[in-house]
C-alpha cells in the first residue's frame, strides 16, 4: 500500500449525509400526490423520470426538483396546483440550504491522512450545491484538488488521473457507491474502498466487482487499512471487511 499517493473521496453519503434529504423529499412528494396516485405509483414514476432525465439534467437537487415537477404534472394529468408546485420548489431550496452533517470519523481521520497523502474530492452533482456543501463542511482546506463531474465513468477518472499526472496504481478511491466509486476505478487498475451506507439510491446499486477491492464499515478503519502490512496485496481482500 506504500504505492498509494493520492486518495480520492466521494462527497455525498461518504463524507456527509445526503440521501436522507432525498428520502424526505420523496415522502413529501408522495403525500402531495395522494389525490392522484398511490405512494407506490408515485415512487415508481418519479424514479423512472429521474433516470430518463439524467442525460439532460444530471444529478443533484435541482435535477431532482425538475423531475418531481414533471412527475407531478404526469400523475395529475396537468391538474397539479400552483400551491404544490411552489411547495416543491420551496422544499428543494430547503434541501440546498440544509446543514452539512459529517459522518462520524470524517473530521478526525482526514487531517491524519493529509499528513501522508494528497487528498482530493471526486463527486458528481450540481456545481453550486457541491461547492456550497464543501465550504460549509469545513473540510475544504484538507483537499489538494476538487473534481465535480457530471457522471463518474471510467473515462472521467482516466482524465482526472492524467490531469494529476498519476498512475492508477497510485490512486485509491473511497466511496459508498459500487457503481460510481468502485467499478470505474478498478477498471483503470486503481485501488478502491467501499464504505456502504444504509440509504443508497437504486440507480447506484451494482453487482460486486470481480476485481479485488476493500470494504470497510466506516471511515474510522481507513488509516488502519492503509498502514496494515497485510494490505500489500490488494487481491487478498476482495469484498472483505477489514477491522482495525
Structural domain boundaries in the chain: 6-16+100-241, 19-96
SS3 74: helix
Q: Which cell numbers hold the place of 181?
A: 466509486
The per-residue pLDDT for 235 is: 37
Q: Which residues of the chain have pLDDT under 70?
A: 1-2, 199-204, 206, 229-244
In degrees and rounded to multiples of 5, residue 126 shows phi and psi of: -70, 130
**Surface-to-core class of residue 139, CB atoms within 10 Å of its CB (0-12 exposed, 13-18 middle, 19+ buried):** buried
- Other beta carbons less than 10 A from residue 101's beta carbon: 12
SS3 58: coil
The per-residue pLDDT for 95 is: 93
Domains 6-16+100-241 and 19-96 share a fold: no
pTM for the structure as a whole: 0.86
Q: What is the dihedral of CA 205, 154, 176, 236, to 10 degrees?
A: 100
Q: Which cell numbers hold the place of 98?
A: 440544509
Tens digit of pLDDT for each residue in 109-131?
Answer: 999 999 999 999 999 988 889 99
Q: Which cell numbers hold the place of 134?
A: 464543501
The per-residue pLDDT for 201 is: 62
The per-residue pLDDT for 229 is: 42
CATH class label, 19-96: mainly alpha
The DSSP symbol for 16 reads: B
For 6-16+100-241, CATH gives 3.40.50.1000
Amino acid at each position: 500500500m506504500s504505492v498509494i499517493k493520492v486518495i480520492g473521496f466521494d462527497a455525498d453519503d461518504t463524507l456527509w449525509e445526503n440521501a436522507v434529504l432525498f428520502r424526505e423529499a420523496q415522502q413529501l412528494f408522495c403525500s402531495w400526490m395522494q389525490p392522484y396516485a398511490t405512494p407506490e405509483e408515485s415512487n415508481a414514476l418519479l424514479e423512472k423520470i429521474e433516470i430518463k432525465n439524467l442525460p439532460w439534467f444530471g444529478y443533484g437537487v435541482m435535477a431532482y426538483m425538475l423531475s418531481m415537477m414533471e412527475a407531478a404534472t404526469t400523475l395529475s394529468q396537468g391538474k397539479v396546483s400552483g400551491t404544490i408546485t411552489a411547495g416543491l420548489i420551496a422544499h428543494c431550496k430547503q434541501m440546498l440550504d440544509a446543514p452539512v452533517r459529517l459522518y462520524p470519523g470524517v473530521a478526525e481521520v482526514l487531517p491524519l491522512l493529509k499528513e501522508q497523502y494528497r487528498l482530493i474530492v471526486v463527486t458528481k452533482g450540481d456545481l453550486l450545491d457541491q461547492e456550497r456543501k464543501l465550504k460549509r463542511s469545513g473540510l475544504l482546506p484538507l483537499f489538494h484538488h476538487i473534481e465535480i463531474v457530471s457522471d463518474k465513468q471510467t473515462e472521467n477518472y482516466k482524465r482526472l488521473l492524467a490531469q494529476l499526472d498519476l498512475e492508477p496504481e497510485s490512486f485509491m478511491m473511497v466511496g459508498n457507491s459500487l457503481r460510481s466509486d468502485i467499478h470505474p476505478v478498478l477498471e483503470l487498475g486503481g485501488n478502491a474502498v467501499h464504505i456502504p451506507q444504509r440509504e443508497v439510491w437504486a440507480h447506484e446499486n451494482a453487482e460486486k466487482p470481480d476485481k479485488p477491492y476493500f470494504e470497510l464499515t466506516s471511515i474510522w478503519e481507513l488509516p488502519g487499512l492503509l498502514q496494515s502490512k497485510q494490505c500489500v496485496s490488494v487481491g487478498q481482500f476482495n469484498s472483505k471487511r477489514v477491522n482495525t
